[in-house]
């Protein structure tokens, strides 16, 4: 999952070591250049590297025509299929457009657009996770915060217990880690929970990405009502520039920390800093720690284990 696609995202994607032909969903918080301008280049790059897996892209109204403009002007036509879904929280619907690839004829596409009601703020739902969209408060026409909500996970696997039960390593271990009952060659049936191979089920992890926003009531309500493992929140300005933050509809370091402190947030990662702080992020970190203890200053290629 990739959230926002700023300039030169294709190079950052490669530096991060992501494989070019793996499942990928992209989520755009709003249609400002620093969050979406890198999207066409990334799609071009993936096509150049012979990707053949489809890509799902979710974002605000206008996203589909943004990509159509690149198709008509600079030839954005890929061998893989691009599935665009626009999010309309005002009407409570998703607009799912026909897939685009090198064979797509745009004539009459309007009749093929699906209108899908949004339920419980969920815009993408799978057996392993859901993605929710919340209203954010910024200067674009539509602005979103996103929530990654993982499905409940099986309990921790106990390899010593598996060995004691004479269960051979391999696919059977993998199936038990998913909570499945297995049958050995001698007919013995092993229920991984009953027989102590895996522990009690664990709650799924939750990650919230604020997008560009003032401290919003929707986001604050969500972190108050749910246990959040990681909140990634913009903190464009230090507290002395609060008036500018209000004017440009961004958050200060203190405001972002107060969102986390006011909710059930385990860890906070601050990002989207004004370029005026690029050489002094240490001062931003010191300021943040006055308001919230478990805070991280996000940097390029930072990896956080949850």
* 181-200 confidence digits (pLDDT tens): 999 999 999 999 999 999 98
Residue 278 clears pLDDT 90, i.e. is over it: no
Q: Which strand (E) or helix (H) includes residue 63?
A: helix 63-74
Same domain, 22 and 101: yes
Same domain, 141 and 259: yes
CATH number at residue 7: 3.60.15.10
Same domain, 101 and 44: yes
Q: Please, where are the H alpha helices in 143-201? A: 159-164, 171-177
**Total domain count for the chain?**
3
pTM for the complete prediction? 0.91
Same domain, 268 and 292: yes
Range of the domain at 174: 154-202
Question: Token match 């271990």: residue?
Answer: 173
Spatial CA neighbour of 146 closest among 300, 306, 304, 3: 3
| Structural tokens at position 273 | 């800093």
Q: Which strand (E) or helix (H) includes residue 230?
A: strand 230-234
Please measure the distance between the N-terminal and C-terminal CA atoms of the chain and give it in whole angstroms.
16
The string of DSSP letters for 1-46 reads: -EE---TTHHHHHHHTT--TTS-EEEE-S---HHHHTTHHHHHHHH
* 202-234 confidence digits (pLDDT tens): 899 999 999 999 999 999 999 999 999 999 999
Which runs of E-coded beta strand occur in 68-218? 82-88, 93-96, 114-117, 122-125, 129-135, 144-150, 182-183, 189-190, 206-209
Strand pairing report for 189-190 and 182-183? antiparallel
């Amino acid at each position: 999952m990739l959230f926002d696609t700023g300039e030169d995202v294709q190079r950052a994607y490669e530096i991060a070591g992501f494989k070019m032909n793996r499942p990928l969903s992209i989520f755009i918080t709003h249609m400002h250049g620093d969050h979406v301008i890198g999207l066409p280049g990334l799609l071009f790059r993936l096509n150049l590297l012979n990707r053949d897996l489809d890509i799902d892209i979710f974002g605000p109204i206008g996203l589909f025509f943004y990509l159509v403009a690149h198709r008509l002007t600079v030839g954005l036509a890929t061998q893989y299929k691009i599935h665009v879904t626009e999010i309309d929280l005002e009407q409570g619907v998703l607009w799912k457009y026909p897939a685009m690839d090198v064979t797509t004829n745009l004539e009459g596409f309007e009749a093929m657009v699906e209108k899908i009601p949004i339920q419980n703020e969920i815009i993408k739902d799978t057996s392993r996770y859901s993605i929710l969209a919340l209203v954010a408060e910024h200067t674009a026409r539509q602005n979103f915060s996103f929530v990654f909500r993982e499905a409940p996970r099986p309990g921790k696997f106990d390899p010593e217990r598996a060995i004691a039960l004479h269960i051979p390593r391999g696919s059977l271990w993998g199936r038990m880690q998913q909570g499945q009952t297995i049958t050995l060659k001698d007919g013995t049936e092993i229920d991984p929970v009953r027989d102590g191979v895996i522990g009690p089920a664990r709650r799924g992890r939750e990650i919230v990405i604020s997008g560009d926003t003032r401290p919003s009531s929707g986001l604050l309500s969500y972190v108050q009502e749910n246990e959040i493992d990681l909140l990634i929140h913009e903190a464009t300005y230090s507290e002395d520039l609060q008036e500018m933050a209000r004017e440009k509809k961004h958050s200060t370091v203190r405001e972002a920390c107060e969102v986390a402190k006011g909710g059930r947030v385990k860890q906070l990662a601050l990002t989207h800093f004004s370029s005026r702080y690029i050489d002094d992020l240490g001062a931003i970190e010191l300021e943040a720690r006055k308001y919230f203890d478990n805070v991280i200053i996000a940097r390029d290629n930072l990896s956080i284990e949850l």
